[in-house]
């Protein structure tokens, strides 16, 4: 098997959160995303072909430290983009909800802005002409 055919897609994007329940409520209320499934320490949203999965401290596979020693670190630069068909409407809606957003920028045809979720994770929103 040639290694170019090992993978067919990115299956899930993981984002750390401090409290899965609070994060699920924030994402559904503010971003309008559909919850696919949820367990106490992990939850996943349907976003096209690649789910967005929120993971809490208790998620299996994380380095285990006593909870009192665990210090949450938000994602301070975007690790993925959310594609918006109407980026200006999304920007306006998030701002009206009191969410911290950057200005909209045009990078030669790719338009973007960033916002922070309730835990301070930075997420990018992009738009470009689809063909």
For the chain, domains (ranges, CATH) are: 1-71 (3.10.180.10), 74-131 (3.10.180.10)
Query: Measured between alpha carbons, how far is 75 from 122 in angstroms, rounded to an integer?
Result: 6
pLDDT value at residue 67: 61
Q: Identify which of 42, 45, 44, 74 has the alpha carbon closest to the alpha carbon of residue 59.
A: 42
What averages of pLDDT result for each successive group of 10 residues across the chain (131 residues)?
75 92 97 94 92 81 58 88 96 97 96 97 95 78
pLDDT value at residue 64: 56
pLDDT value at residue 8: 84
pLDDT value at residue 6: 85
Cβ atoms 88, 96 nearer than 8 A: no
């Amino acid at each position: 098997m040639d290694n170019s055919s090992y993978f067919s897609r990115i299956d899930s994007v993981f984002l750390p959160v401090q409290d899965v329940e609070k994060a699920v409520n924030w994402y559904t209320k503010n971003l309008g995303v559909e919850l696919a499934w949820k367990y106490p320490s992990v939850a996943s949203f349907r976003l096209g072909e690649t789910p967005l999965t929120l993971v809490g401290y208790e998620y299996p596979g994380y380095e285990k430290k006593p909870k009192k020693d665990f210090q949450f670190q938000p994602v301070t630069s975007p690790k993925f983009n959310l594609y918006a068909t109407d980026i200006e409407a999304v920007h306006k809606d998030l701002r009206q909800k009191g969410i911290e957003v950057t200005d909209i920028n045009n990078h030669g045809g790719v338009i973007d802005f960033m916002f922070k979720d309730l835990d301070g994770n930075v997420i990018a929103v992009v738009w470009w002409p689809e063909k």
